[in-house]
Amino acid sequence: MNISGNTIFIPGSTSGIGLALAQRLQAEGNTVVIGGRRTELLEKLAAEHGFDTVRIDTADAGSIRTAAAEVLRQHPDLNVVIAMAGIMRVEDWHHADGFLASAEEVVTTNVLGPIRLIAAFVEHLRTRPDATIVTVSSGLAFAPLAVTPSYNASKAAIHMLSESVRLQLADTPVRVVELVPPSVRTALLPGQEESEFAMPLDEFADEVISLLASEPDAKEIQVERVKFLRYGEVRGDYDQVVATLNAADPHGK
């Protein structure tokens, strides 16, 4: 992915990692369109930062179709989509009422959302030079946090989806890049913004932009902090990684 000169749509970018990356990508010389559910917040961010905006609920198939049509109408040169939106829930799987509704919401947002986003944009992206789909998985796709089973599974699904779609689109101009965050200080879970275990948001976003600039052909964007989780099985210390993760961070990402 080229670091500048793109037109980028980032649904799920009104806060946290999405907003931090939107600001930095705009500063690198990209046109950035941010998406979210709250119209008043979108208007505020547009006034403060000069973003173009579109309302989108990535848990709603109809909203994705409507938003995609609006983005493409306003920005026919769009060449990058970053599927940022996601939710994380603490769940208790001892009883169905402790997890079922939550699990369904997580899968709808974290798995069906990116699938529907790709469906809405892939035909357009195939016509664009330097086109890129950026998916967002997690270190928890590779080592599980006990209290968030559905989130872990949804991000593992995104990892394999990214691997598979990259193979299929190898005969097109569209690149598939997977962003693999560690735990980052955001509001994804209550208390995570103050977590000493989590990586500071600005530090994470700065390292991501640096990696995008220095590794334009990378298939995965991995900050140094996530490699402990990402490569446990490869190193042969997976059980230790899982034990350390769950002892250190009961609410991590």
Separation CA 11–CA 188 (nearest Å): 15
**Is 231 designated active site?**
no
Q: Are 12 and 86 in contact (CB under 8 A)?
A: yes
Q: How many other CB atoms are there within 10 angstroms of residue 225's CB atom?
A: 18
Q: Which 3 state secondary structure label does DSSP give 83? A: coil
Q: Which 3 state secondary structure label does DSSP give 169? A: helix
Separation CA 11–CA 209 (nearest Å): 18
Active site residue: 67, 151, 181, 223, which one? 151
Could you give the residue ranges of the DSSP H alpha helices within the chain? 16-27, 39-49, 61-74, 100-107, 113-125, 149-168, 201-214, 227-230, 232-235, 238-248
Tokens of 209: 């932009």
Q: Are 36 and 13 in contact (CB under 8 A)?
A: yes
Q: Cite the active site residues.
A: 151
